[in-house]
Amino acid sequence: MVKQTIQIFARVKPTVRKQQQGIYSIDEDEKLTPSLEITLPRDLADGFVNNKRENYKFKFQRIFDQNANQETIFENIAKPVAESVLAGYNGTIFAYGQTGSGKTFTITGGAERYSDRGIIPRTLSYIFEQLQKDSGKIYTTHISYLEIYNECGYDLLDPRHEASSLEDLPKVTILEDPDQNIHLKNLSLHQATTEEEALNLLFLGDTNRMIAETPMNQASTRSHCIFTIHLSSKEPGSATVRHAKLHLVDLAGSERVAKTGVGGQLLTEAKYINLSLHYLEQVIIALSEKHRSHIPYRNSMMTSVLRDSLGGNCMTTMIATLSLEKRNIYESISTCRFAQRVALIKNEAVLNEEVDPRLMIIHLQKEIQELKDELAIVTGEQRTEALTEAERLQ
């Protein structure tokens, strides 16, 4: 069992305009935890005395500044999680931040350059590369891609997606077994034997995502998307199977409706996005308080699906994406505050091993036959299945 808190990282989005100096500074001392200091610019235009708090300091495992490339992000954040998944532990990486701060770019990547690939394609490449090197075990890989749009779940890998509208597609529903394990009905699992097959599934899912243009972002993701890699491995001849899941989560961005001034469908989407992020925060606050007996996982679909990732059997990592421009400074502070709360949650990851019942049955049947043969040699008579009268009475 591995006990560890949720790892938190910060990534600063490159600004479009030349940034005015002094909004933030990164302090990366060798001996201390890296910290990000945000300084509120003082607007002295009104001539009033300004007694508001001026600077905020937040600690992260590591902070990636504007010039950090996708390769660095993968090596430092996603690679350790992918390694633990190959070892048989569950893993989750999720990106959180306001709309337009670079969550989708970090998780999925940009479409313009090959070097802009995000965490999902790089993780798939890494996992399949490792599977090819390890010829001692038999691996099977399955992929699922879930979208949560306006609190309804949809399967992004459903082949009927292109032909029909969202309302006509079967909704993914949550079922719970007596052991409180979550099962998703109508979510398909697709086997991927090569990296190419897995990437094709990713691209198919990405084309089916809900995207809209908002005042903050030209291609804003309007839904939460959870890309899951299911990995199972076993050694030839062994009855023990290891299962591991890796959730790569791209959350939809929170936004202040009063600030963006959206209406109609965009407003409905924003309400659902903000509500589900509010429920996520409620779960995180409840988990960070020591004496809470009830954790409100069932409030939203997303917190139900990610139950294991939050305070359960999983190694979880969070990336806080920050857009540190003057107009977004309060949203950035609120993202950092959220990350500090997330860092208080302890997860207990367990090695997911189980005995395959089918292999066990074959093994036991073989053993019974061998014992029967031995008995026949000793007694000199072949046993039949039926019991004698004396044995029955006994």
Binding-site residue ranges for ATP: 97-104
Six token digits for residue 1: 């069992």
Helices (H), ranges, 93-241: 103-107, 119-133, 195-207
If you ran DSSP here, which 8-state letter would residue 98 be given?
B
SS3 301: helix
Name residues whose C-beta falls within 8 Å of residue 183's C-beta, 6 or more positions apart in sequence. 174, 175, 176, 177
DSSP symbol at 172: B
Could you tell me the CA-to-CA distances from 160 to 151, 204, 391 in Å, in that order? 20, 12, 62
Q: Where are the alpha helices (DSSP H) in the chain?
A: 70-73, 79-86, 103-107, 119-133, 195-207, 257-260, 264-288, 301-305, 329-342, 357-379, 389-393
Q: Which residues are annotated as a binding site?
A: 97-104
Residue with tokens 């023990």: 240
How far apart, in whole angstroms, are the C-alpha atoms of residue 374 and residue 384?
Answer: 14
End-to-end CA distance of the chain: 48
